[in-house]
Amino acid sequence: MTQENTTLITGGAGFIGSHLAQRIVRSGRKVRLVDNLSTGRRSNIADLLSEHAGRVTFIEADALDTAENDAVWKGVDQVFHLAASVGVQRVIDDPAAMMRNNVLTTDAVLRAAGRAGASVLIASSSEVYGRCPVLPLSEDAELVYGPTTASRWSYGMAKALDEHLALDLAQRTGLKAVVVRLFNTIGPRQIGHYGMVVPRFVEQAIRGDALTVYGDGQQTRAFCDVRDVTDALARLLDVPTAIGRVFNVGSTHAVTIRQLADHVLRAAGAPAHRIQHMPYQDVYGAGFEDPHDRLPAVDRLDHAIGGFRPAWTLDATLNELVALARGTDPDRLAQTAQPTPLEPRT
């Protein structure tokens, strides 16, 4: 199959996919987006399609259905597989559908990439670590899950199977596959409908509501801006030594969820006391268990891409999200919220 420097992004109209598409287009490549719009949105890619007509195309379809479509894969030499069922709420609502969708789609995309001779990056998740207590979480850490009677762990298990599929094909067939475990990624276009905490907090703060913190709020997470994440993904797939390996991608600066709520309230100029706590079982049902702490080790990523230094601080991202939620002019926002660019990497 003739190579035309075309990048295929499954889940391309989603939160991360749309930002990745912007990053890839800037590098001069053609981009083909596949998304069934179950969680992705046309509005995420509208500007991209209008500004780069002829270089960016969109196919509204399931990634699984397009895996056997030669027209979709024509000229593709690079694949980012981001299409997946995501969000704690979706996992709780229908874990069987989530598992079928994630594992079957990943298998089909991997095999299609192999037939096309394309390199492929598979987006996995920090959820694969389950409740592993050893921090920071390294790529070789033990994966510790709860019982199968608790559907909470099914997402991490499904993502672990995705990783096994990619790594096995890389070893046995020479598939140029890279696996990334994404930690808490935040930024513009993320929605809070399926359990994502930052957009939920921002929406509550803008409405003037109290921010709802689940549990005691002392659980910790590390939040990384989507633009830093997608820059790392784009660079990583260009590294030959990354093939057949797993990489954490995320921030190494942890905050408690209560501290996160305080950051959001400050960004919104809201009273600091506007916080209420809610037991997990009132949200997700009896027996729900959430890992208390999540923090990635990113030494492997840092070494592979010649330095991973996120440009966006948590406050810079939150300030932008609050301004966007209030309808601030995007051009003015870009001038005030954009962090100082990093020096060029060599």
Residues forming the active site: 155
Q: Which of these, 64, 55, 69, lies nearest to 7 by C-alpha position?
A: 55
Instruction: Return the C-alpha torsion angle 200, 255, 92, 208, nearest 10.
Output: -20
Distance, CA of 138 to CA of 303 (rounded, Å):
14
- State how far the alpha carbon of 257 is from the alpha carbons of 155, 197, 220, 261, in Å: 22, 9, 6, 6
**8 Å CB contact between 183 and 222:** yes
Distance, CA of 230 to CA of 235 (rounded, Å):
9
> Could you tell me the two tokens for 207?
């409405």
Q: What is the DSSP string of 95-164?
A: HHHHHHHHHHHHHHHHHHHHHHT-EEEEEEEGGGGBT---SSBPTTSPPB---TTSGGGHHHHHHHHHHH
Residues making up the chain, counted from first to last: 346
Q: What is the tally of helices (H) and strands (E) in the chain?
A: 14, 12
